[in-house]
Amino acid sequence: MSVAVDDPVHRDQRSAVVRACARLAESKRFDLAIFAVILANAVVLGVETYDGVERDLGAVLGVVDTVFLSIFVLELAIRIVAYGRRPQDFFRGGWNVFDFVVVTAAFLPGLRENATLLRLVRLARIVRVVRLLPDLRILTVAVGRSLPGVASLGVLAVLMLYVYGMVGWVIFDDHNPGAYGTLGDAMLTLFVLLSLEGLPDMVADGLALSAWTTIYYISLVLIAAFLLLNILIGVVINSMEEARGIEAAREMSERRAAAAASPETADDLEVAVIDRLAALRTAVEELETEVKAGTLRVELERRPPE
């Protein structure tokens, strides 16, 4: 006799499996174990680059790689099952999609026959360590967020090098043709000077021509080197703050999805408490802003007219 799909016993069994997978997926020990497997996979990939080891232990290393792949597939299945009745929510996270693509790519037809592509896919598994380390994940997101600002800064840097290169060519063309003989040579010389490498020698060489050349190099260091560097630092710091906000929102979204899939009411209560605390924190920040604005307005009103 077949058992109905909606049988309460089977629902309880499914719920128990989902809870077990959810607890395992959220376990730090589980993450550490997968982290160790990823590192071991990286070691095996490095060992395979030695011809002697590959020749003597090629078959063994192939079996080891199959074991690693099996562990990654099992990990992926656990994380998907942890979402319970909404496994599609697993694919809402960018890192989850990346993990899925990297792991399942090994099963593409014809891939195992192509040693180069197979090695690249196996190498991509190492990048999965980014997902397991929150700080590294934030840094990765920050790098991506900072690319537009860095690109704009790069355009500004090229423009400044072009202008300073033209001025340097006019000043030093006859005196130092090796460094300023053409516009390209001048820009390359100035690009190296942005790191302040060889700056004392270039300043001494300029002093041999005229004391006024120090203005050229001082302005280059102050504007091109120090100013651009500080702008770059500002772009990176701003991207880091944005990345932290994105990561916090992502973790909260995953926690809500897991709580919605889990039959446990404790998970829903935990999410509700966290949302309440976040709302209170936002309200306090808005209140501080209003208090500061009101204090400033009162001080301006109390200030006697001039």
pLDDT at 197 over 60: yes
**Residue 162: its pLDDT value, please?**
92
Chain mean pLDDT for the chain? 77
For the stretch 1-21, pLDDT in tens is 334 444 544 444 567 777 888
Q: What is the pLDDT of residue 19?
A: 80
Q: Which domains does the chain have, with CATH numbers?
A: 8-132 (1.20.120.350), 136-263 (1.10.287.70)
Yes or no: say if 143 and 239 are a contact pair by the CB < 8 Å rule.
yes
Q: For the residues 48-62, what does the mean pLDDT come to?
A: 74
Q: What is the pLDDT of residue 113?
A: 64
Q: How far is CA 214 from the centre of its chain?
A: 41
Check whether 161 has a pLDDT greater than 80: yes
17-45 pLDDT, tens per residue? 778 888 888 788 888 888 888 888 888 88
pTM value surpassing 0.85: no
Contact 97, 104 (CB under 8 A): no
